[in-house]
Amino acid sequence: MSKYVALRLRKLPVVHWFLEPNFLLEPEQKIIVRTQHGCEIAKVLRALPEGREVLIPPEAFVREIIRFVQPEDQKSLEEIAKKKLRFSVKLAV
């Protein structure tokens, strides 16, 4: 049941293709992945049906899919974003 999925990390206009044999992923899902730079949150853009190959070979940037994003993860991200905003406001003053 392995298939290719297109992932977007951060808000960069780069799509990373990854062969995922273990998870059943659907578009718009958020997942936690391990990359060359550590753990990041990725959004699933597209999942190709089984048996279809991508025209561009997958890169080694995404190492593995760890798990789906949980509600606790979302809360942590919101808190981090608030702290960054407060810090940037302090720098601007």
| Confidence band of 1 (pLDDT split at 50, 70, 90) | very low
Residues paired with 30 in a beta bridge: 43
CA distance 86 to 93: 11
The alpha carbon dihedral of 67, 11, 7, 28 has a sign of: positive
CA distance 86 to 72: 21
Query: Residue 41 half-sphere exposure, CB side, CA atoms within 13 Å?
Result: 12
Residues 29 and 68 sit within 8 Å (Cβ to Cβ): yes
Residues 32 and 40 sit within 8 Å (Cβ to Cβ): yes
What does DSSP say about strands 38-47 and 62-68: parallel, antiparallel, or unpaired?
unpaired
pLDDT in tens, 65-75: 989 988 888 78
Domain boundaries, the chain: 3-92
| pTM across the whole model | 0.73
pLDDT in tens, 7-64: 998 877 888 888 887 788 889 999 999 988 888 889 999 888 877 777 777 778 889 8
pLDDT at 28: 92
36: which 2 tokens? 């060359």
